Structure 1
Amino acid sequence: MDDELVQRTAERRGESPDQVLDRNLAELLQELRVAFTGVQLLFAFLLTLPFQARFDSLDDVGLTVYTVTLLSTALATLTLVAPVSFHRLVFRRQQKAALVAVADRLLLTGLALLLLAITSATLLVLDVALGRPSAVVGAVVVAVFGVVLWYVLPIRQRRLGPVGDATPRP
């Protein structure tokens, strides 16, 4: 996190810079817990699929979608767990600002990978259940909905600024 931003936030909220970093880290950890629960459930589901009877009936497209889904879920898992490792390795070394900045980027990256995993899992399941045309439509709906909810709305709000502040942000 940028030192100047931490200082401005601390002054505005009546906190010390350390309190701002502590609060930001706690908020990030809560967000990681929510995201990680979803990725764990999806990963567990995907790891059992090859052992199901119908898995052998997947065509090349189905196997490719499964592979993309499994790999994006594995990468999301690694990315969302990375802040824990980072924290452990910089623990008690006065690097909380770096931890917050890195964890923030990792969480955003992990969410993007999770969105890919959710979209491709939807494609995979709907392909088996309803057929490819319906699966593609369903996956597109999930992808668009995810992008709008996870990125477009927050970025739009960030540009608008705090509620009640009519001054657009660059």
Structure 2
Amino acid sequence: MATASKPVPGRDETAVQRADRNWNELAQELRVTQTGTQILTAFLLTLPFQPRFADLSSRQETHYLVLVGLAVLTTALMVAPVSLHRFLFQRGRKPEMVRVADRLTRVGLITLALVVIGTTTFVFDIVLGEPATWIAAAACTVLLLALWLGLPWRIGRSDPLE
């Protein structure tokens, strides 16, 4: 995403218009990630109330608690731009708001990837046992790296006019 201070080739817009556009684009992205993050966090928070939760090993309990912590952190990071917008609304600080919200969202995507990988491995560990956990972790990591980093990197390297 272009920041509010850098001009975008092919766009004739003021810094304020650019900040507005960047904020709107970021808000659309957040709508998708916030919902998924909140559902994943809610799923994790309900697990202790399931009958089989008492059967977890101490390693699995630790894994679970790390996941809950990461999920809460991810939710906080993904919702923080909303709070930022609410407190800075109509104060003429949109370029700064876009820059900070972009950083929060980037870190949130990293923690979201960790939660998705961790939750996948947790479920595979419970259902199939530890050997399947490593396969699930590797597959999930490769998938997220390919789609969340590899694909954008590849498209970013190609000619935009192709």
TM-score normalised to structure 2 length: 0.91
Q: How many Å apart are 1:101 and its aligned residue?
A: 0.6
Q: Do structure 1's residue 140 and structure 2's residue 138 form an aligned pair?
A: yes
Map 1:1-170 to 2 at 5 A. Answer: 1=3, 3=5, 5=6, 8-9=7-8, 12-158=10-156, 160=157, 162-164=159-161
Aligned mates of 1:48, 1:2 — CA distance in 2: 41
Q: What is the percent sequence identity of the aligned residues?
A: 42
Aligned mates of 2:150, 2:53 — CA distance in 1: 36
Secondary structure, in 3 states, of the residue corresponding to 1:13? Answer: coil
Aligned mates of 1:136, 1:60 — CA distance in 2: 18
Q: How many Å apart are 1:141 and its aligned residue?
A: 0.8
Q: How many Å apart are 1:52 and its aligned residue?
A: 0.6
* 8 A Cα contact 2:4 2:15, kept in partner: no
Q: How many Å apart are 1:102 and its aligned residue?
A: 0.7
Secondary structure, in 3 states, of the residue corresponding to 1:97? Answer: helix
What amino acid is the match of 2:62? T
* 8 A Cα contact 1:72 1:113, kept in partner: yes
* 8 A Cα contact 2:80 2:104, kept in partner: yes
Aligned mates of 1:97, 1:110 — CA distance in 2: 20
Aligned mates of 1:131, 1:33 — CA distance in 2: 35
* 8 A Cα contact 1:68 1:117, kept in partner: no
Q: Which has the higher contact order (CA 8 A, sep 6+)?
A: 2
Q: How many Å apart are 1:147 and its aligned residue?
A: 1.7
Secondary structure, in 3 states, of the residue corresponding to 1:93? Answer: coil
Aligned mates of 2:60, 2:26 — CA distance in 1: 35
Aligned mates of 2:125, 2:119 — CA distance in 1: 10
CA RMSD of aligned residues (A): 1.6
Aligned mates of 2:34, 2:127 — CA distance in 1: 27
TM-score normalised to structure 1 length: 0.87
Q: How many Å apart are 1:2 and its aligned residue?
A: 5.2
Aligned mates of 1:87, 1:113 — CA distance in 2: 22
Residue ranges of structure 1 left out of the alignment (5+ in a row): 166-170
Residue ranges of structure 2 left out of the alignment (5+ in a row): none
